[in-house]
Each structure stands twice: as structure tokens, then as C-alpha cells.
Amino acid sequence: MRLALTRLLQLASPALPVGAYTYSQGLEWAAESGTVKDEVTARTWIVDQLEWNLGRFEAPLLARMIDAWAADAADKAIELDALYLASRETAELRAETLQMGHSLRRLLHELDDVPEAFLVQVAVPPAPAFAFVWSGVAAAWGLAPEEALTAWLWSWAENQTLAAIKLVPLGQAAGQRILFEIGQRIPIVVARALAMQEESLSNLAPGFAIACARHETQYSRLFRS
């Protein structure tokens, strides 16, 4: 149990060398346009993405990927990977998940506690999404889907909050207040994602898609997406 916890913390850590800190996922344009301008609007932006975007599509899809890997159904995981890539609304979002997926897959070959059979399976797609590789590692290390989803969402929220601290800018205490509220919401989002039927999955978030598209041509920026 303790080993599983440390493996979970490692996957969720900002020290994981996949470049997550270089992405804002449209938040930089939202700050530039004035949509996000203080602690309240930053919290609203991040919570809305958690509830309506990640919580209703990315999280339940990740849970299904973990289940597929755990059942040794790599073909199903590959099918879900294709669905995830097709759901990326902009070139930046697609490039982000492919870069992070490539970085994590490369890292796995440097670690000792990764089954060889999994390394073979995860190498099948030429350019896998980050969620595809991450979910496979979570399953290979025997992490429970509920805990894995919690870690995935927390890692995302932490990166978004750190981006808001830089962009708005916000103080460290404001960032912690945002994370404190998000921490209360994540268990609810995880429970809903695990119970969600496949036909209910939806990544409909037009404002988010527009922000990501506008960021692609933003003149001055700190983040890659």
C-alpha cells in the first residue's frame, strides 16, 4: 500500500519530467483578454474546466483507459487513445498531449519498476496521448482508478494554479486558497467520472476551445499552450 502511494505521488509530481509546467491550456489568453484578472476569476476559470471539461470527458476516459490496461486489453486502450486525440480542439492541445506522452514513454525506459510487456504494448501507437501512457503506468503499478483519477486531476489543477499565479499575477496564499477549494471538489468529480456512462461523455466547452485557439496566435506569451 505504501509503495502504491509513493508511485501515485511520483506520477502526480510536478517533478515528473514531461513538461507539464510549460502549458496553460488557454489560461494565458484568458488572462491577456481580462477574463481572468484576480483570484475570484482565476478560481472560476479553473473550477469550470475541472467540472465541465476534465470531469465530464477526460477523467471518465482516463478511468476507462486504466480499466483497459488492467484487463490486458491494450486494443481497447489504443481505441480510447484515438478518441482522446480526436477530442483535442486545437493544434496546441494536440501537440501538448503528444509531447507529454512521448516524454513519459521515453522516461519509462529509464525506470526499473516497469514491466517489459507493458513497454512493448505502450510502444504500439507511434504518437500516443499523455493519458494513454499515464493510465498504462498507473495500471502497471496497480494503482486504484479512484486514487489515480484524484492524482491526475490534482496534478492538472496544481499546474493551472501555478500558471494563474504567474499570469494574473496572484500571491502564493491566493493560489493555496484556490487549491483548497479545488481539493474539496475533486472527490465529487472523481465519483461522478467513475459512475458516468459512456454515452454521457462530453468535452463541450466552447469558451475553453476559443481560448486555446486564440492563444495559438497570441503575440506575447510565456506558455506553449
How is the chain split into domains, by residue range?
Answer: 24-215
Q: Whole-angstrom Cα distance, residue 187 to residue 97? A: 24
Say what the pLDDT of residue 112 is. Answer: 87
CA atoms within 13 A on the CB side of 63: 23
Question: What is each CA distance from 25 to 49, 89, 199, in whole angstroms?
Answer: 10, 11, 26
Q: Which CB contacts under 8 angstroms, 24+ apart, belong to 144-149?
A: 144/4, 145/63, 145/66, 145/67, 145/194, 146/190, 146/191, 146/194, 147/4, 147/8, 148/8, 148/11, 148/62, 148/63, 148/66, 149/59, 149/62, 149/63, 149/190, 149/193, 149/194
Question: What is each CA distance from 146 to 63, 150, 192, 223, in whole angstroms?
Answer: 8, 6, 11, 30
Say what the pLDDT of residue 12 is. Answer: 95
Mean pLDDT of 23-32: 96
Q: What is the pLDDT of residues 37-66, one digit of tens each?
A: 999 999 999 999 999 999 999 999 999 999
Torsion sign (Cα): 80, 86, 88, 94: positive
Position 146 confidence tier, pLDDT thresholds 50, 70, 90: very high
Mean per-residue pLDDT of the chain: 95
Asked if residue 119 has pLDDT above 80, the reply is yes
The model's pTM is: 0.96
Specify the higher pLDDT residue, 2 or 90: 90
Superfamily of domain covering 24-215:
Urease accessory protein UreF (1.10.4190.10)
Cis peptide before 169 (omega within 30 of 0): yes
Say what the pLDDT of residue 1 is. Answer: 65
15 Cβ neighbours under 8 A, 6+ residues apart: none
Q: What percent of the chain has pLDDT over 90?
A: 95
Mean pLDDT of 17-43: 97
Say what the pLDDT of residue 217 is. Answer: 92
Q: Whole-angstrom Cα distance, residue 178 to residue 40? A: 9
In the numeric block, which cell numbers belong to residue 1?
500500500
